[in-house]
Structure 1
Amino acid sequence: MRFIFLIFFLLIISFAGHAQLNDLTRLDFTFIPNKGSDVEYTRSRFLVNYPLKLKKEGEYLLLGIDYSNVHLRFKNDELPFDRDLLNDFKLLDFTFGYTKPLKNEWRLGVRFQPGISTNLTAKSLNANDFVFSGDVVFIKSFENDIGRLSRLIVGLSYSQNRGYVFPLPFISYYKKFRPDWSYNIGIPKTNLQYHLSDKHRLKLFTQLDGFTSNIQNGALVNGEEYAEIINMSLINGGLQYEYHFTDHLQLDVRAAYNFSLSNKLKDGKNNTLLTIDNDSRSYFRAVLKFKI
């Protein structure tokens, strides 16, 4: 049981678009329709994680692979760039995580993810295709007199292939305040969860999401400048339904409203060359996971 909680603490540091539970295997599909916008977004994702116990008491290593295919379908035929260069992107991350106990019942979690994020239109990879992500968090759990768990996580998160490419604070406070109710307040995700039964759960959530990728050889924009980076960032909130087939196999279905959604083409210095119209407010996601 202690091993399960340790790996859970390490994996919870992952960002939105990244796994936020103790997943060993995960299939993930996200869809944003092009209603009210010039672009339709779909993302298919697969990841595998494998935890290893180290020699020292309480220390663990996590190894994993995280692959995503992002497909963009542009509705407007008059957009000022070659749509064929920007309709398909590959994201591949290799996960190396480490966790150890600290004094006063605190725990350290560290994760490093080198990888690639690119449209693969050139014959080979180049330096701009390579990205990295990293997280450092400190975790402490509490239990009150009637056995209800609370947990605090604080730290820093950075990723070059998510929607927000700058260091973000990771703050999470979880509390189960009634037998069937719990909440998690923080950045990048906040939720309120109700346990209908052992198999059925409902969750209200808000989150950050998106992706950033290199554009190999660039894409000519307005016949003048070359875009070398594509960035999509969003903030949304909605309802999640969970069905637990077993203690380890789970299906999540989400429907959300996009409060903010931005699609930008940028040059190599991160200057915005073009903002693609995207007023789509709908967000749908389905996740099948096998977890510890």
Structure 2
Amino acid sequence: MIKQELKWIYMLFLIFVCQFSNAQLTDLARLEYSFIPKNKSEDQYTRLRALINYPIEVKEDAYLIVGAEYNRVLLNLEDNYPFNTSTLNKIHIIDLNIGYTFKWNEKWRFGVKFNPRIASTLSKSLTSDDYFINGGLYLINDRTKDESIKRPYRLILGLTYNATTGLPFPLPFVSYYREINDKWSFNAGVPKSNLKYTFNKKNNLQAFVGLDGYLAHLQEPSVVNGENVDHISLSVAIGGLGYEYCFTKHLVAYMYTGYTFRLNNVLRNENRDEIFKLDDVNAFYLRTGLKFKI
């Protein structure tokens, strides 16, 4: 039973390791709510999120993973803007997750991930501008269950491609996790790094920094400052504290709260040049939810 669970953990690395979000590596299902209010304003950003993933064994130590994720972003823009904001209220982000992994040798596991995405207001029929392609290649060295090591660790190295960044080439990816002792552990990487303290089997607390955001196509373009706007993007860097409560070994409730130390909510043109900044004032951040994990 333990051996099977370890295999599932290896597989699910590929689904979550480079999502521009904060999904944990071993989630099979998740429901989540995020909230960022705009300082000194009635504007606010809300995100509702759901995901599910399912591994399929194709041969010994080789797995195909299929899954999906849905995000509904609600932009409540109540301030006065020099253009119509009604077409920006709802943004839909739909991801299809396809991954494959196999054991390369005694120390390393190889994986590949393909992640087609629809990111759009979905107010009209889909066009090519609503589709984005993400993916990556990874090498994973997991020694977290090796009893011969005093301080277990996990190292992930990879190359990733994300169409929403606007960069036409792969980017390197590194994530390093290490247990300090029975109570303390840390993870250094992107999109999230943390330092965690485990009180007991049901409770843990962590300090974290992370990145979040999206890029989506506006199917009903607006004219802002004399230019056509047909994309919207949000990028945030966040720091704060997180708490997790384990109802069972697999069912976990969590809450992360903190403050953004970089926030950039922008309307962009076809070339993704910045046309109008909706918000760049740092604000309170809240993310809470329920997850089912390995």
Q: TM-score, normalised by structure 2?
A: 0.91
Q: Separation in 2 of the partners of 1:17 and 1:135?
A: 15
| Counterpart position of 1:193 | 196
Q: Structure 1 residues 159, 20: closer, same or farther in 2, change over 3 A?
A: farther
Partner of 1:5: 9
Q: Distance in 1 between matches of 2:115 and 2:228?
A: 28
Aligned partner letter, 1:15: Q
Higher alpha-carbon deviation: 15-24 or 130-139:
15-24
* 1:165, distance to aligned residue in structure 2 (A): 4.7
Could you tell me how far 1:136 is from its partner in structure 2?
A: 1.6
Q: Which residue of 2 aligns with 1:256?
A: 258
Q: Distance in 2 between matches of 1:134 and 1:10?
A: 10
Whole-Å separation in 1 of the counterparts to 2:24 and 2:115: 15
Q: Name 2:77's counterpart in structure 1.
A: 74
Deviation at 1:14, TM superposition (A): 3.4
- Aligned equivalents of 1:259, 1:279: Cα separation in 2: 9
1:90-109 equivalence runs, <5 A: 90-109=92-111
Match of 1:242 in 2: 244
2:83 match: secondary structure: coil
Name 1:50's counterpart in structure 2: 54
Which shifted more, 205-214 or 144-153? 144-153
**Cα shift at 1:144:** 5.8
After TM superposition, give the deviation of residue 105 of structure 1 in Å: 1.5
The one-character-per-residue Cα deviations of 1:118-173 (angstroms, maximum 9, x if unpaired) are 01222x11110111211221110233635642111111233345xx4545432111
Match of 1:134?
135
For structure 1, which runs of at least 5 residues remain unmatched after alignment? none
RMSD: 1.8
2:36 corresponds to: 32
Give 3-state SS (helix, strand or coil) of 1:105's partner: coil
In structure 2, relative to structure 1, the CA distance for the partners of 1:273 and 1:211 (3 Å cut) is same
Q: Which moved more, 1:19-28 or 1:152-161?
A: 152-161
Q: In structure 2, what is the Cα distance between the partners aligned to 1:225 and 1:235?
A: 28
Task: Give how far 1:202 is off.
Answer: 0.3
Q: TM-score, normalised by structure 1?
A: 0.92
Q: Do the aligned partners of residues 148 and 61 (structure 1) sit closer, same or farther apart at CA in structure 2, a change above 3 Å counting?
A: same
Superposition deviation, residue 101 in structure 1: 1.3
Provide the C-alpha distance between the structure 1 equivalents of 2:234 and 2:96, rounded to a whole number of angstroms.
Answer: 22
State the number of aligned residues: 286
DSSP-derived class of the 1:103 partner: coil
Structure 2 letter corresponding to 1:230: I
Contact 2:12 2:65 in 1 (8 A): no
Q: Which residue pairs with 1:59 in the alignment?
A: 62
